């Protein structure tokens, strides 16, 4: 079983809708939680990261972490066709020197 589980989708939404993405993880020692976005044929790029539990907002993006249930979420408001990509959640320990455990990635398609 992978340490970070993520539904691969695809998830199709109409333009303007809220995109809701989720991951679960099994290692309770994970402290940092990230969301990366990967466009087709490109490398992943960091969208947001949070430390421990809580919410973080950046423009149209909101990341949430619930350590009690080992649940990670990303919400994209007012979705645009340019948001169509694969979104990967990732987690790491505090002292892991940056070793990231990635979920499988969820493919999101925003239709005009």
- Catalog residues that contact other proteins under the rule CB under 8 A: 2, 32, 34, 42-46, 49, 88, 92, 96-105
Compare residues 36 and 84 and give the one whose CB is closer to other proteins.
36
* Shortest distance in whole angstroms from residue 13 CB to other proteins: 22
Compare residues 19 and 89 and give the one whose CB is closer to other proteins.
89
* Shortest distance in whole angstroms from residue 32 CB to other proteins: 6
Compare residues 13 and 100 and give the one whose CB is closer to other proteins.
100
Q: Which residues lie below 8 Å from residue 110, measured CB to CB, with a gap of 6+?
A: 12, 13, 14, 15, 17, 19, 79, 80, 81, 82, 83, 84
**Residue recorded with tokens 């948001």:** 83
d(CA 57, CA 63): 6
């Amino acid at each position: 079983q992978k340490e970070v589980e993520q539904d691969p989708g695809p998830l199709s939404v109409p333009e303007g809708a809220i995109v809701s993405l989720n991951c679960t993880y099994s290692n309770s020692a994970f402290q940092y939680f990230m969301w990366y976005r990967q466009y087709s044929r490109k490398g992943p790029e960091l969208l947001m990261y949070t430390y421990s539990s809580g919410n973080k907002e950046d423009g149209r993006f909101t990341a949430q972490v619930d350590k009690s249930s080992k649940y990670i979420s990303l919400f994209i408001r007012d979705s645009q066709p340019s948001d169509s990509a694969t979104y990967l959640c990732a987690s790491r320990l505090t002292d892991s020197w940056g070793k990231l455990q990635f979920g499988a990635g969820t493919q999101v398609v925003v239709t005009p």
